[in-house]
Structure 1
Amino acid sequence: MKKTALIIFILFFLLSFYAFATIEHTMSSIFKQLDVTETDLKEHIWSNIAYISFSYPNPKQLLNTSNSERESIVNIVGNFVKSYTKTEEFVSKYKEYIKSRKPEPPQKPESIDDIKSKQKEQIKKSIEEMETNKKKMPADQQAMFDNAIKSIQEQLKEMDNPNNPAYSKDVNNYIQQGYEQEMKDYKDKLAQWEKEYNGKPDELVKKWLTTFLESTSDIDFNAVLKDENGRKIFVNNEFQSKPQIWKLCFRAGKKTTEAARSFAQSWVNELTK
């Protein structure tokens, strides 16, 4: 029994290695055919998934391939993307990404007494500096310093006036209320962050795939184009405002798009289980 299990395991391992090697070999050919590097493609994969976008390093090269090749390329590249999202490299990028998007708690505000104390220290320092500068000036110019110093000293005295509204308990309450609202907003954002992101990138990948499926669900492959200023545009103005991925899939053709949508839907189904 153990011997049989070992043989099955070895066969499974060899078949898996063969399949992986075949994909790698095919992807190497596609890199050359589409004039992209593996590094470029991985960067685009990460960027697209992280920011829910659908850019491609060299779309013209993809459109230059024959219709018969595109469906095969879509599935091969799709498997490459799928495999890459399960690598340590991708997961590491994801962890850094969610860390950078984690909300920061608001800084606890100072009390009105602390604020007043700091302001008084600054004013006292200003008075000392003016006293020092006054001594450096000719006697006939020192009077203007006396007036300025007297004015600032009056401001300093007014700060300790218990009826000064700028330092009342009401102001302290407003500061606290503002902080409590900031804390509430922070907790709401943190809860949303925890719901949207976790240790695995599956939900983010699923969101990306779902957005692709939604954006390409209503492509009219019979839409008519016309020439305008040396470029092709849709006769139907409504189509001109469609997302870029919608237009790219239109140009790629129905079979290519159906292959991409089928792959994406199958992947979504796997992630939903």
Structure 2
Amino acid sequence: MKTKQILLISIVGILSISASQYVDDILSRLGIEAQYAQYNIRSNFIGRFDNGPLDSRVSENTFKIPYAKLLPSIIAGDKTGAAKELCHYIKNYINSEEFIISYNEMRQDALPLRDSQDPNRRSLGSLKSELKTIELNIKNYPNDVAYITEQKKLKDQAQASIDNIMEASKKPFPNKELWEQTYPTNPEVLVKKRLQEYLALVNTVDFSAKLTAPDNYKIQKFVNPTYESKSPQWKACYRAGKEVNDVFTSFANEWLKGEIIASVKTKMSDTSIGPKEETKSNSMTTTTVMENNTTQVNDSPTETEKTESVSVPTKAKISLLDKMKAKAKKIIN
């Protein structure tokens, strides 16, 4: 049975190697920040870890567990307790303002369109990132007339390309149907589908399956060759064990009975996971969730746009360390 990426599977994988403590402790000891943890949830959820335009169908078995090889030596504790904590964290995140914002950014970045008038054939996400950089340059060097003139010209070109892409998105284009299926306008459709896929998958797992003795590379395989050819998700469920999957199954069933994504969003706490970061407020906020599956792309730049690398003339010198940090941040986003 083939399945796409499943929301709860990423957590099953984390728990499959050893017993686990609460999520905050696991991720802080691994050095995983909230942003990175949430990125993995979204990407496993959507079924795609690549940035940029969605030009071809993604593999149905694309699946990642962050820092999987490090887990055996650093996690220990109550597996079922950790499973419950992780389930609640995922549901809280999916119902958060941060998830909706990040999901819509990923959806825009994946739009499989480029401006035919743009010689560099940049994507929508890349153009928006470039536009923000240009605006920052203009703000930082207000007295350099020649430089400001150059930057304003680049800004006009980038905005024109963005406008052309937005106009083209209103019409049929190659891979439009694939893009809409992979990134539905209302992510509730995707959440519900993944929960249902998990429940269908876990019912096929034989938790009593036997493994061979470790070979010279300490690798164990299924005695039944049919199981050895199963998907990474199926094997992750098996490794987690029936006890943990019973927790996930119960949680998924309860989630499907009620509201999948709430219309009123909470803002994730800066203490939810990983190192501390400043947040302006933890109060309840309202975010509108689109209720249909029509193509709709927000054409206004967002504060956390994730894009391809771009080349924009700037005056500021960037150190090697800053470049590494920027690259790491881009991968996380």
Q: TM-score, normalised by structure 1?
A: 0.51
Over alpha carbons, which structure has the higher Rg?
A: 1
Aligned to 1:50: 46
- State the partner residue of 2:79: 70
Alpha-carbon distance in structure 1 between the residues aligned to 2:38 and 2:210: 35
Question: Does the C-alpha gap of structure 1 residues 35 and 223 become closer, same or farther in structure 2, counting only changes over 3 Å?
Answer: farther
**Cα offset, 1:82, TM superposition:** 1.0
- Amino acid across the alignment from 1:100: D
- Determine the structure 1 residue equivalent to 2:212: 226
Shift of 1:98: 2.3
Task: Tell me the amino acid that sits aligned with residue 232 of structure 2.
Answer: Q
Which secondary structure does the structure 2 equivalent of 1:234 belong to?
coil
For the 8 Å contact 2:191–2:260, the answer to whether it is kept is: no
Query: Would the aligned equivalents of 1:35 and 1:58 in 2 still touch at CA under 8 Å?
Result: no
Q: TM-score, normalised by structure 2?
A: 0.43
How far does residue 214 in structure 1 lie from its aligned partner after superposition? 2.5
Q: Note if contact 2:221-2:228 (Cα within 8 Å) is conserved in structure 1.
A: yes
Evaluate the alpha carbon distance shift between residue 232 and residue 100 of structure 1 in structure 2; reply closer, same or farther with a 3 A threshold: same
Contact in 1 for aligned 2:199/2:252 (Cα 8 Å): yes
1:238 aligns with 2:226: yes
CA contact (8 A) 2:111 2:179 kept: yes
Q: Which residue, 160, 176, 189 being the options, matches 1:203?
A: 189
Asked if 1 retains the 8 angstrom alpha-carbon contact of 2:188 and 2:260, the reply is: no
Q: Which runs of 5+ in 1 are unaligned?
A: 1-25, 108-184
- Supply the distance in 2 between the matched residues of 1:72 and 1:54 (Cα, whole angstroms): 24
User: CA-to-partner distance for each residue in 1:215-239, whole Å, 9 max, x for gaps?
Assistant: 2221111111112443111010000
- Please say if 1:93 is aligned against 2:96: no
1:214–1:33: structure 2 CA closer, same or farther, 3 Å change rule?
A: farther
Q: Does 1:212 align with 2:198?
A: yes
Shift in Å at residue 199 of structure 1? Answer: 4.4
Query: CA contact under 8 A between 2:45 and 2:194: conserved in structure 1?
Result: yes
> What's the secondary structure of 1:250's corresponding residue?
helix
Report matched runs for 1:28-39 at 5 Å.
Answer: 28-32=24-28, 36-39=32-35
Per the alignment, residue 264 of structure 1 pairs with 252
Structure 1 residues 272 and 46, CA, compared in 2 at 3 Å: closer, same or farther?
Answer: closer
Q: Would the alpha carbon gap of residues 270 and 214 (structure 1) be closer, same or farther in structure 2, given more than 3 Å must change? A: same
* Equivalent pair of 2:210/2:224 in contact (CA under 8 Å): yes
- 1:145-176 per-position Cα deviation (integer Å, ceiling 9, x unaligned): xxxxxxxxxxxxxxxxxxxxxxxxxxxxxxxx
Contact 1:44 1:57 in 2 (8 A): yes
Q: What's the RMSD between the two structures over aligned residues?
A: 3.5
Report the Cα distance in structure 2 between the residues aligned to 1:206 and 1:80, rounded to whole angstroms: 17
Amino acid at match of 1:201: P
Contact in 2 for aligned 1:74/1:259 (Cα 8 Å): yes
CA distance in 2, matches of 1:246, 1:269: 24
Residues 94 and 251 of structure 1, relative CA distance in 2, 3 Å threshold = same
8 A contact 2:237–2:245 mirrored in 1: yes
SS of corresponding position for 2:95? coil
Identity of aligned residues (%): 28
Instruction: Provide the rounded CA distance (Å) in 2 between the counterparts of 1:268 and 1:59.
Output: 29
